[in-house]
Chains A and B, each alone.
Chain A
Amino acid sequence: MILKQITVENFRQFRGRQSLVFAAGEPGKGKNVTVILGENGRGKTGLFRALMFCLYGDCSLAQDEDTRREDLRLVNTPTLVEASEAGNPVYATVQVEFTHHGVHYDVERRVKGVLHNGDHLEQVDKAELRYQDKNGNTKLVDSPSEIERTLNGILDRRVREYFLFDGEKIEHLTRSSAAQRIEVARGIRCLLDIDDLEKALAALKRLRGFLGEELSKVSTGEYAQVVTRLNELQRELDARTARLEEIDKELLLAGGEKKKLDDALAANEGIATQVAERKRLEDAREEWKTQANELLVQMRDRVGPSAVLLASNLVERVYGTVEDKRQSGEIPTALRKDLIERILSDEKCICGRPVTPGVPGAFEAILEWKNKAVDEHIENAAMDLWRLLSGLLGRFDDIRVFLETTIQRYGNLRNSMETATKSIESINEQIGGSERGDLLDLEKTRQLTESRMIERKAERLKIEDEIADREVERSQRSNRREQLERVEGQKSELAERVELALRTHEALDNVKSEFTSEVKTRLSDNASEIFSRLLDDEGRSMLRRIVVENDYSLQVLDPWDKPFLANISAGQRQVASISFILALARAAAGGQVLEMPLFMDTPFGKLSWQHRENLISQIPGAAAQWILLATDTELGRREASLLSRGGAWGKFAVLESQPDGSTTMREYKVSEALALLKNTEEDA
């Protein structure tokens, strides 16, 4: 979507019909930056509101959450008052023209306003979308649901706030609630076309189930039983996998709910310290639990090698016996035989005594030694055993040390967890003992939420076990089915179809896991790279990387890879959010610049000069179109000079106040901007 023009008529502050053309050149080559300057209250947000109303039918914005809809007026009030004297209604109209993938779109929405017994009443009375189809014919769409479907296909409403936003509030991307994150994650999947992949997978799953049932109906005997059970197992696995996804969502939502309740409780001075301490203990306990689980996994992996410790006494005894024989030269026989042969041929012992027939004692003793034959195989086995035991004995100590230290560490973690649990229970009692009813209600709700989370986690573990059992059975039954098919001599065509649907679903499912994980890595890498270019020097020294979490929320890491989001400034949050948006746009466009505008209301309010400088030099080449609604305190001569030097600034308009309180959009040449702008604080 590239915005071409907006026209407003009697909408909010804008009296009469007024239009504004946006710069829409190619990024990096043409002019794609538009600046709309206006003092506070002159209609910058009114223009943003007009855009959201026209494209999505939004009568209110996120910032209006504390305002009742009937108190929000879209129709220009002075015009309505004048018209009502003659008993006439007033129509507030917004028209937006844009192009998308070469197609020109024209959207128009209208609100009818009347004054009735002094009440200002409004109703949306028209919505139209016109576009040119592939054959050049103009199509008119006037069904609100069809308009919504078409516009969502261009810029999904769930991610619209990623491209059309209030600069100062965009930092909410790093603060959004769990429920918002789920919704936004869906939008991002749509933007990245992952939803097509999910739809294909859902259809393949259905196909696999349908064909499995068909095969079961036409089969007989044991084959029918095996196929029927395989179908059942698949249904059970699907149901359990779906339940796991639900549980994850429930846990995410409950976690968000718990955090909100904690924030509400912490707002009360009397218990703020306890609430903070409980949070610290809970986080630590969770971390210890993770560490303890990791130790359990390590111990489980070493169970095999450790089992040999049970036989350590026996191993040491056997080793000792074999070693004695080796030391005394009884084994290996080959060595002993060589020695005896040499003594007998030299007729002299290694100690110098003569060993010849007739010399009493020594000769007979050597012969007897030679005749003490040891079976060669037994002897080889004994030598192998000696070598094995020799290696094993060396590892006994390693295994012992590993087990002792791991059990010790595991025990310490368990103790710390138990101590934390007791302290948490004690804090729960203190907060629960409060005499204030509102705090008690909050605390009770918090405990219920936590109990629900514990139940869900237990259910999760149970389901994971059930899935593992069923997967084992499925593998066994599949093997049996294949055996039966071999006995039959050939596989039916229907069985081939079942097999193909199954394999295709598996293959595409693996592709999805691989692809989504790569997308997240790519988003993290791109966002981090953009972040480091947009940050000021102070930020660069403190912040190392942006990480996109599994739910597509953001985390910022410090130079030691520790989460640091909670400690960064509002300006840095804003820069992190913008970096993520640009990375997302790049990912959605396969590494190119996505055809989407960045429409930013109050873009620089919270940003340092260096942040502004970086944004001004980077965004025109990274976004397809940049539209800035700024005050003269955030966009002064210094910013304008920089923007001008970049060569991408194409349009400049000022929202000018009229004597009747309305606003006029007046377009100026970009070259006139410097004369109209003030020095910003940093210059002064």
Chain B
Amino acid sequence: MGDIHDEIAAKLDAQPLNVRKLALRALELAHDNSETAVFEGLKNWVREIVKAGSQS
């Protein structure tokens, strides 16, 4: 089943780095968490990504 995740990840290759980071994080969290847990996890993650982007 991991192969299918890899396939989805490959389809995100053309996306900007931050979009790819957030999408892959969402997929990773979704594998064994509830939707609410994924949402809560992403709230922090999106902040981190934007912060890192503005600092670089």
Residues of A within 8 A of B7 (CB): 515, 590
Contact present for A207 and B42 (CB under 8 Å): yes
On whether the beta carbons of A197 and B35 are closer than 8 Å, the reply is no
Closest to A214 in B: B43
* B-side contacts of A196, CB under 8 Å: 5, 27, 30-31
Q: How distant is the Cα of A204 from the Cα of B28 in the complex, in angstroms?
A: 13
Asked whether, in the complex, the Cβ of A210 is within 8 Å of the Cβ of B31, the reply is no
Contact of B35 among A206, A210, A508 (CB under 8 A): A206
Chain B residues lying within 8 Å of A497, measured Cβ to Cβ, are 46-47, 50
Smallest CB separation, A108 vs chain B (Å):
26
Q: When the two chains form the complex, which single residue of B12, B42, B46, B54 contacts A511, counting CB atoms closer than 8 Å?
A: B12
* B 1-38 contacts with A by CB, 8 A: 1-5, 7-8, 11-12, 15-16, 18-19, 22-23, 26-27, 29-31, 35-36, 38
Does the CB pair A493–B51 fall under 8 Å? yes
**CB-CB contacts below 8 Å: A492-525 with B:** 493, 496-497, 500-501, 503-504, 507-508, 511, 514-515
Interfacial chain A residues near B42, Cβ < 8 Å: 203-204, 207, 501
Contact yes or no, B11 A504, CB < 8 A: no
Number of A interface residues, CB 8 Å? Answer: 30
- Return the chain B residue nearest A493 by Cβ: B50
- Give the residue name and chain of the A residue nearest to B2 (CB): A590
Task: Categorize the interface residue count of chain B.
Answer: 20 to 34
CA distance A177 to B31 in the complex (A): 30
Q: Cβ of A403 < 8 Å from any Cβ of B?
A: no
A507 touches B46 (CB 8 A): no
Q: Looking at the complex, which one of A200, A503, A588, A590 makes contact with B30 (CB distance below 8 Å)?
A: A200
CB–CB B4/A590 < 8 A: yes
Q: Is the CB of A203 within 8 A of B35?
A: yes
How far apart are A448's CB and chain B's nearest CB, in angstroms? Answer: 37
Are B30 and A496 in contact, with the CB atoms below 8 A?
no
**B9 nearest in chain A by CB position:** A511
Closest chain B residue, CB of each to CB of A202: B35
Residue of A nearest to B33 (CB): A199
* Interface presence of A329 (CB below 8 A): no
B35-A504 in contact (CB<8A): no
Chain B residues near A508: list those with CB within 8 A.
12, 23, 26-27
Residues in A whose Cβ lies below 8 Å from that of B36: 203
User: Contacts A199-B35, A211-B46; is A511 near B29 (CB within 8 Å)?
Assistant: no
Chain B residues whose CB sits within 8 angstroms of the CB of A515 once the complex forms: 7-8, 11
A504 contacts B23, CB within 8 Å? yes
Q: Which of B5, B31, B38, B53 has the most CB of A within 10 A?
A: B38
- Give Cα A496 to B54, complex, Å: 10
Give A206 to B39 CA distance when docked, in angstroms: 7
- Which residues on B sit within 8 Å (CB–CB) of A504? 19, 22-23, 26
- Which residue on A lies nearest to B1, using beta carbons? A193
Chain A nearest CB from B24 CB (Å) reads 9
Residues of B within 8 Å of A590, CB to CB, are 1-4, 7
Task: Decide if A197 touches B39 in the complex (CB within 8 Å).
Answer: no
Q: Does the CB pair A203–B16 fall under 8 Å?
A: no
Give the residue among A192, A197, A210, A588 with the most B Cβ atoms within 10 A.
Answer: A197
Q: Cβ of B8 and Cβ of A496 under 8 Å apart?
A: no
B19 touches A500 (CB 8 A): yes
Is A591 an interface position by the 8 A CB rule? yes
Closest to B11 in A: A511
CA distance A504 to B22 in the complex (A): 7
Contacting residues of chain A (192-224) with chain B, CB-CB under 8 angstroms: 192-193, 196-197, 199-204, 206-207, 210-211
* Known contacts A199-B35, A500-B18; A507 and B12 CB within 8 A of each other: yes
In whole angstroms, how far apart are the Cα atoms of A210 and B18 in the complex? 19
Docked-complex contact A500 and B46, CB < 8 angstroms? yes
Residues in chain B near residue A192, CB distance under 8 A: 4
Q: A515-B7, A515-B8, A590-B1 are in contact. Are A501 and B22 (CB under 8 A)?
A: yes
On whether the beta carbons of B4 and A199 are closer than 8 Å, the reply is no
Complex alpha-carbon distance, A192 and B7, angstroms: 12
Partner of A493, one of B15, B38, B54: B54
Cβ–Cβ < 8 Å partners of B27 in chain A: 196-197, 200, 508
C-alpha spacing A588/B19, complex, angstroms = 27
Q: Which B residues touch A507, using CB under 8 A?
A: 12, 15, 19, 23
Q: Across the interface, which residues of B come within 8 angstroms of A197, CB to CB?
A: 8, 27, 30
9 A/B residue pairs, CB under 8 Å, sorted by A: A200-B30, A203-B30, A207-B43, A497-B47, A501-B46, A508-B27, A511-B11, A515-B7, A589-B1
Nearest 10 pairs of A and B residues by beta carbon: A590-B3, A203-B38, A200-B26, A199-B30, A200-B30, A203-B39, A504-B22, A196-B30, A511-B11, A193-B4
Given A197-B30, A500-B49, A507-B19: 13 more A-B contacts, CB < 8 Å: A196-B27, A203-B39, A493-B50, A501-B22, A504-B19, A504-B23, A504-B26, A507-B15, A508-B12, A511-B12, A514-B11, A588-B1, A588-B4
